[in-house]
A and B are shown apart, each in its own frame.
Chain A
Amino acid sequence: MSDTNRPDTRIAGAGTVSGGTYGEVVIAGAGTVRGDVDCLAFKVGGVADVQGTLSAQTITVGGSASFMGDVRGTDVVFSGNADVHGALRADSLKISGVARIDGAVTAPRVEIRGTTKIGDGCEAETFDAQGVFSVGGLLNAGTVTIRLYGGCDAHDIGGETIDVRLASAWTFLPFMGDRNLTADSIEGDTIYLENTRAKVVRGANVTIGAGCTIDLVEYTGTLTGSAGVVASRKVTAGA
């Protein structure tokens, strides 16, 4: 994808890339990026330290990368170890390794298969997590699908469809410890919960499955199951 305005650059041993506009940036050894980078593809196989913001179409981290500023991409795949100190904005974000994002995450599609810690909120159309995650702010997504493999938490969860279940039994991972979701409040239209601890759950149609501890459920349509629910209340107009 070489072109005169967007030269490619590659670090195979140890080296430094200065900020600027590139075609493809590949860091296979140990590389430092000084300044803000705008490129088409950013690939890390080794160890990268990006000391600015990154804007790219595709971002792939298979090795280990640390980003000092914001990260913005169309397709972002973190399969190694990624550390973002700013915010992350993408069309699609896939995490199968270990990722930490200090700021907010905004991406229509978020797929988590590894371990992820988001310091601020997370906004998505579909949020699909089969792994371990923590969201420091509000997790706001059209469809939230969570399969519990370990301890997950979000400050609050809001959306249209929220579906939380224990990961299927054949995935036997005894060393993962407690497998549950913790949140202050969970609000949505259709809610299904298993192994969830929450102070309040509000929605239209709420189903409470096994292993939940919920202080209060407020619903406008139906409530199915009540094991572990301390109090529940049907909310109607004029009440």
Chain B
Amino acid sequence: MEPELISKKDLLLTCGISYGQLYRWKRKGLIPEDWFVRKSAFTGQETFFPREKMLARVDRILSMKDEDASLDEIAEAVSSAPLPDTFSREELMQRDVVSSSALDLFAERHPGTGELRFAELLAVSVADMLLRSGEAGRDETLAAIATLEEGWTTCEATSCDLVLLRKMGVSAVLIVSSASELLVETDVRIVARINLPERIEGLKSRLKPQERGEKP
């Protein structure tokens, strides 16, 4: 499952940005080092980027620049460091970050939980996605939360996917590295495959701008 790539030249043309801007963003840490993929082309070495991620990131940087955010502010918003804050149920509901049913499910597993840490919020958000898709059942969603919680300490969520498989009505949840391809026997259906880095980014972009807006 190698992601589709875009060459640096095409990226600049598509987005209407210059080499200077791209190098400046790189210096400011707006574009992760490992998104720069060097490949040999007929003109020698060329740089490529994961197409979808990169286009989304450039879009985001350009739209934040329209709001007059400084590059440092943008860097903070897109940085891959987890948010240190905890999040209350009311806050999450109000901002429509996750649905109440996903939060209820999490509360059922952990009665008496007040504020959610970012890692827990990620699990809730994945549960929310599974529930909303209509593909996964309640128990499967609970299993997904449990797997994420266990896996949190052992695997790097910044480069993993959560996968839900089902064979003859029996389901299984696994966490695999984002780059890996799954080969399954014919009866097994891949019900859902959720990219965790995308979820993290999505959560952050949902939480960040409003936080900034609330500051006096």
Q: How far is the CA of A159 from the CA of B18 in the complex (A)?
A: 10
List chain B residues, Cβ under 8 A from A235: 9, 13
The reply to whether B19 and A189 form a contact with Cβ atoms under 8 Å apart is yes
Q: Which residue of B lies closest to A221 (CB)?
A: B18
Q: Which of A184-209 contact B (CB under 8 A)?
A: 184-185, 187-189, 199-200, 202-204
Q: A160 and B9: CB pair below 8 A?
A: no
Contact with A along B1-38 (1 / 0, CB 8 A): 00000000100010000111011101100000000000
Instruction: Determine the chain A residues whose CB is within 8 A of the CB of B20 once the complex forms.
Output: 142, 159-161, 188-189
A interface, over-half SS: strand
Residue on A nearest B12 in the bound complex, by CB: A220
Which of chain B's residues have a CB closer than 8 A to the CB of A125?
Answer: 27
- For residue B112, CB closer than 8 A to chain A, the reply is no
B13, A185: Cβ atoms closer than 8 Å: no
In the assembly, what is the distance between CA of A218 and CA of B43, in Å? Answer: 11
In the bound complex, residues from chain B placing their C-beta under 8 Å from that of A203 are 19
Question: In this assembly, does A158 line the interface, its C-beta being within 8 Å of a C-beta of chain B?
Answer: yes
**Residues A78-112 near B (CB distance < 8 A):** none
| B44 x A140 contact (CB < 8 A) | no
Q: Is B27 in contact with A140, judged by CB distance below 8 angstroms?
A: yes
Contacting residues, chain A, for B22 (C-beta < 8 A)? 158
In the complex, whether A68 has a CB less than 8 A from a CB of chain B is no
Chain B residues, Cβ within 8 Å of A185: 44-45
Q: Is the CB of A184 within 8 A of B44?
A: yes
Kindly list the 10 A-B residue pairs having the minimum CB-CB distance in the complex, ordered from nearest. Answer: A160-B20, A189-B20, A158-B23, A187-B19, A199-B44, A237-B13, A189-B18, A123-B27, A140-B23, A159-B23
